[in-house]
Amino acid sequence: MDALILLIPVSLLLGGIGLAGFLWALRSRQYDDLDGAAARILFDDNPRKEPPQ
Amino acid sequence: MSILGRALPVASEAVSTGACTHCGAALAAGQDRFCCNGCAGAHALVAGLGLASFYGRRETEAGALRPEEAPPVLDLAPFAAAPKDDLQRLDLMVAGLTCGACVWLVEQALAAERDVLSARASLTARRLTITWRGAAARANDLGALLARLGFRVAPWSPACLRATEDAEGRALTRALGIAAFGSMNVMLVSVAVWVGGDMGPALRHGLHWLAALIGLPVVLVAGMPFYRSAWAALRAGRPSMDLAISLGVLATAGMSLSETLRNGPYTWFDGATMLLALLLAGRVFDRAARRRARQSVAELLALQEGLVNRLLPDGRLEAVPAEAVAAGDRVLVAAGDRLRLDGEAAVDALLDAAATTGESVPRRYAAGEPLPAGAVNMGAAFTMTVSASAKDGSLAAMARLLERAEQAKGRFVAIADRASRFYVPIVHAVAAATFLAWWGVLDAPWQVALVNAVCVLLITCPCALALAVPAVQVVAVGGLFRRGVLVTSATALERLAGADHVVLDKTGTLTEGRPVLLPEGQDPATLRRAAGMARASRHPLAQALARACPEAPLAAGVREVPGQGLEAGAARLGSSAFCGLGTSADGMTLVFRDGEGAPVAFRFADRLRADAAASVAALGELGLPAELLSGDGEGAVAAVARQAGIAQWRAAADPLAKQARIAALMKAGRHPLMVGDGINDAAALAAAHVSASPAGATDLAQTASDLVLQREGLSALPAVIRIARQAQSIARQNIGFSLVYNVVAVPVAVLGLVTPVIAALVMASSSLVVVLNALRAAKD
């Protein structure tokens, strides 16, 4: 049972990182356009424009 | 989120024979690759940018991307904001942005412009944000680029989406994320306690504390949406589903905490957090489905919103929003423009007032006669002196009438609320009785009595009941969205299922609401030439002529003589006087004459929709007898009623009369469905039990309606009613199921036999059954 002392904090830490990631993604508006994000991944971005001088 | 659906593409074959390479519309005989010059230009533009792979992936409706020949000119420059020096930012609403490929095309085409720094489009919100370096006037070039690609743009207005609504949605999603995280982690700990029968009390105590450590904050934070709503319901003195949920969750958390303190055998934190996660998931989906419909309505409205050309004292024109115009200002009304304000003109004006009065034929208004806002100028451009500002005008008066009608209608009590009014007091009484029986009668310790009482609350906590209706709503609203029907009100489907009478407006509802060429055996070659010329004009009749022959290419060298007609070389198209035939008062005829050749007349009329009679019959079969209520004259109304197969009709009904008729029907115990499109229908729409507006309805009518039909025609209505009834019956089944489940589960809880394992199992399984049953709701 000694393993629990290590494993429980580790699992909580991992879960906490996941939750923090979710909250960050929500705050940076990544959940605002789910349809667009799903479609966007299928296309290449190829900016063919020379940078403005 | 696929359950919510997306508008289905009507034709997805992109480059098959017989379809326009750019917009996908069917090609007419003799056309090679494109249906019109605009599409050919758009295709060349796309190919020139190296973006031709768009055509392999787009999923737009056929014809949706056909560029307009004469797009409305709107100065976008004032809408650009400058967050920093030398940097401009513009938010646009883009119509036609319906698939991932469209988003890609728009973003890439704009990014290829040298000075554009970023272009980002949101597919959900149809919102495009562009930033560029340089002058604000570049906004018009960028807008024109999008128009050439076939996308219609309008400035993004706050009305498109209320900011608070967005924030509320985010708060719900956040609560869902927290509850899901919490329930999964608490479950990990709880499973250890359930199966660890040989666990020492010290370890168990530690695990209890761990569960409390995760569970308590989660219950407090993720449950906030419910607590807030419950508090509001409590203050209003009305028990609601949210009150039952809040009490159940908080009591369970409190009881679990006391069990943790005294190191009891079980805690119920897993049940409380799982309950929150399931309920929040239902709410998030419900919201997303309706938000999408509201978004589409807002998009339609934004495209209709226009600017007014105000005449400055020095003779210059200035485009301003209608709200900014004061009484006494002079504005220019171009041919084909819709009047945004009331006023009077110094000259005669020919106006189509179908939207305001229901008259189907344009009428000549004498100089000085008051002109109603909402009418369309069918004649020459004229200058109008505004008689009332937007907020004092006839449109605003109609909006106030609408508001009063909505208030008078009273609050419709949804089936879920009706169920919870009985359910909540009963459940709480049973829980209280359980506590008293164990503690007072059976002399159990108060902790044991409390655990059993709270178990009753937990197990009856209306998980299935709270999901029963939203799950059905999500599926049905998503299914309707795919059929092009927007449901904007939460209780619309329920009210629609109960409708037993239908009241229809004539102009624009049963009829097309716009002039259509009468087929009178005109020579096809002449029609083609005339349509080619007509394509250059925004006049409603010219546009109707162009629509009658969509394959006609735009004629070269067309010159518009304002108020009279079009000229291309020796050929003339316009009023009969313009073609040298003397004057005619009829505003529904165009004459085409090539030099001194024989003149050809094209007559137009508002026509009954092709599916009107069939839809009326189908509604009748569903038990909704139809009635026609129109502001037009008796002859026209009787003719349409006969053609559509409607026995009961009434002519010359003004807005108040329409509203009164609806009120009389409601008083007689009927549940009328009102279908209308005009400004004069808005009050009746708001007063009716449930209301719908067809494609192309005025913004006021769409705002007043519960349902907006996006596709042409009324044939969607019978299907919508069938889906609504089906959804209603499934919702009843779901409620029935949750009640039966409670009848079984409550005695188990009262007897004190419920362990957290049983609670988790029944909660999850009953929710699953309800959700699976709801999936059937989208079928017609």
Domain harbouring B311, CATH code: 2.70.150.10
Q: Are residues B6 and B150 in the same domain?
A: yes
The β-bridge partners of B318 are B310
Q: Are residues B506 and B631 in the same domain?
A: yes
Q: Report which of residues A27 and B8 the model is more confident about.
A: A27
Average pLDDT taken over every residue of chain A:
78
- Residue B52 CB neighbours (<10 A): 12
Q: Are residues B601 and B619 in the same domain?
A: no
Nearest by CB to A23, from B113, B166, B174: name it: B174
Please tell me which of B270-284, B314-328, B590-604 the model is most confident about, judged by mean pLDDT. B270-284
Residue B531 near residue B8, CB atoms below 8 Å: no
Q: Is B412 on the interface with A (CB under 8 A)?
A: no
How much is the pLDDT for B12?
39
Q: For the domain that residue B520 is a member of, what is the CATH number?
A: 3.40.1110.10
Q: Are residues B6 and B125 in the same domain?
A: yes
Q: How far is residue B304's CA from residue B693's CA, in Å, rounded to a whole number?
A: 15
**Contact A23/B177, CB-based, under 8 Å?**
yes
**Contact B166/A32, CB-based, under 8 Å?**
yes
Candidates A7, A11, A33: best to mutate against B (most CBs of B within 10 A) is A33
Q: Are residues B109 and B7 in the same domain?
A: yes
Boundary (domain end) residue, out of B349, B369, B392: B392
**pLDDT exceeds cutoff 90 at B53:** no
Which structural domain, as residue segments, surrounds residue B589? Answer: 514-607
Distance from CA of B136 to the nearest CA of A (A): 18
**pLDDT exceeds cutoff 70 at B19:** yes
- The reply to whether B225 falls in a domain is no
Q: For the domain that residue B620 is a member of, what is the CATH number?
A: 3.40.50.1000
With CA atoms as reference, the chain A residue closest to B51 would be A46
Nearest by CB to A26, from B108, B170, B181: name it: B170
Write out residues 621-650 of B within 8 Å (CB-CB) of A.
none
How much is the pLDDT for B558?
78
List alpha helices for B535-627, DSSP H: 540-548, 612-621
- The reply to whether B715 falls in a domain is yes
- Which of B270, B352, B505, B594 is catalytic? The answer is B505
Q: Which residues of B touch A19 (CB under 8 A)?
A: 177-178, 181
Q: Is B221 on the interface with A (CB under 8 A)?
A: no
A-B interface: how many C-beta pairs under 8 angstroms?
74
| Of B545, B530, B539, B532, the residue nearest B593 (C-alpha) | B530
**Contact A36/B173, CB-based, under 8 Å?**
no
Q: Are residues B614 and B589 in the same domain?
A: no
Q: Report which of residues B558 and B493 the model is more confident about.
A: B493
Boundary (domain end) residue, out of B607, B636, B666: B607
Residue B708 near residue B485, CB atoms below 8 Å: yes
Any idea which residue has 């020492």 for tokens?
B200
- Residue B525 CB neighbours (<10 A): 8
Distance from CA of B3 to the nearest CA of A (A): 12
Q: Are residues B574 and B585 in the same domain?
A: yes
- Residue B40 CB neighbours (<10 A): 18
Write out residues 20-79 of B within 8 Å (CB-CB) of A.
50, 57
**Contact B178/A31, CB-based, under 8 Å?**
no
Amino acid B19 reads A
Mean pLDDT along residues B275-302 = 75
Q: pLDDT > 90: what percent of chain B?
A: 6
Q: Are residues B600 and B621 in the same domain?
A: no
How much is the pLDDT for B30?
66
pLDDT band of residue B760 (cuts 50, 70, 90) is confident
How many independent structural domains does chain B possess?
4
- The reply to whether B171 falls in a domain is no
Q: Are residues B151 and B42 in the same domain?
A: yes
- The reply to whether B762 falls in a domain is no
How much is the pLDDT for A17?
93
Tens-digit pLDDT profile for residues B191-206: 888 887 777 888 889 8
- The reply to whether B32 falls in a domain is yes
pLDDT band of residue A8 (cuts 50, 70, 90) is confident
Q: Are residues B573 and B613 in the same domain?
A: no
**Contact B185/A11, CB-based, under 8 Å?**
yes
Mean pLDDT along residues B727-731 = 89
Average pLDDT taken over every residue of chain B:
80
- The reply to whether B582 falls in a domain is yes
Mean pLDDT along residues B530-534 = 84
Tens-digit pLDDT profile for residues B690-706: 999 887 777 778 878 88
Q: Are residues B63 and B91 in the same domain?
A: yes
Tens-digit pLDDT profile for residues A12-28: 899 899 999 999 998 88
Q: Is B13 exposed, middle or buried (0-12, 13-18, 19+ CB in 10 A)?
A: exposed
Mean pLDDT along residues B168-178 = 88
Strands B349-352 and B376-377: antiparallel
Q: Which residues of B touch A10 (CB under 8 A)?
A: none
Mean pLDDT along residues B405-418 = 65
**Contact B50/A11, CB-based, under 8 Å?**
no
Q: Which residues of A touch B50 (CB under 8 A)?
A: 48
Q: For the domain that residue B92 is a member of, what is the CATH number?
A: 3.30.70.100
B567: which residues sit within 8 A by CB, 6+ positions away?
A: B558, B559, B560, B561
How much is the pLDDT for A24?
93
pLDDT band of residue B179 (cuts 50, 70, 90) is very high
Write out residues 8-47 of A within 8 Å (CB-CB) of B.
8, 11-12, 15, 18-19, 22-23, 26, 31-36, 38-40, 42-43, 45-47
Q: How far is residue B769's CA from residue B767's CA, in Å, rounded to a whole number?
A: 5
The β-bridge partners of B351 are B363, B377
Tens-digit pLDDT profile for residues B246-278: 888 898 899 899 889 988 888 889 888 988 998
Boundary (domain end) residue, out of B133, B156, B179: B156
Q: Is B676 exposed, middle or buried (0-12, 13-18, 19+ CB in 10 A)?
A: buried
Tens-digit pLDDT profile for residues B638-693: 888 888 888 888 888 888 888 888 889 888 888 999 998 888 888 888 888 899 98
Any idea which residue has 């806002």 for tokens?
B373
Q: Report which of residues B219 and B382 the model is more confident about.
A: B219
Q: How far is residue B777's CA from residue B780's CA, in Å, rounded to a whole number?
A: 8
Q: Are residues B571 and B692 in the same domain?
A: no
Task: Compute CA B192 distance to the chain's CA centroid, rounded to the nearest angstrom.
Answer: 48
Q: By three-state DSSP, how is residue B672 classified? A: strand
Any idea which residue has 């505004």 for tokens?
B386
- The reply to whether B653 falls in a domain is yes
**Contact B103/A32, CB-based, under 8 Å?**
no
Amino acid B480 reads L
How much is the pLDDT for B629?
87
- The reply to whether B302 falls in a domain is no
**pLDDT exceeds cutoff 70 at B1:** no
Mean pLDDT along residues B28-43 = 77
Mean pLDDT along residues B500-515 = 84
Q: Is B700 on the interface with A (CB under 8 A)?
A: no
How much is the pLDDT for B8?
43
* Residue B337 bears catalytic tag: no
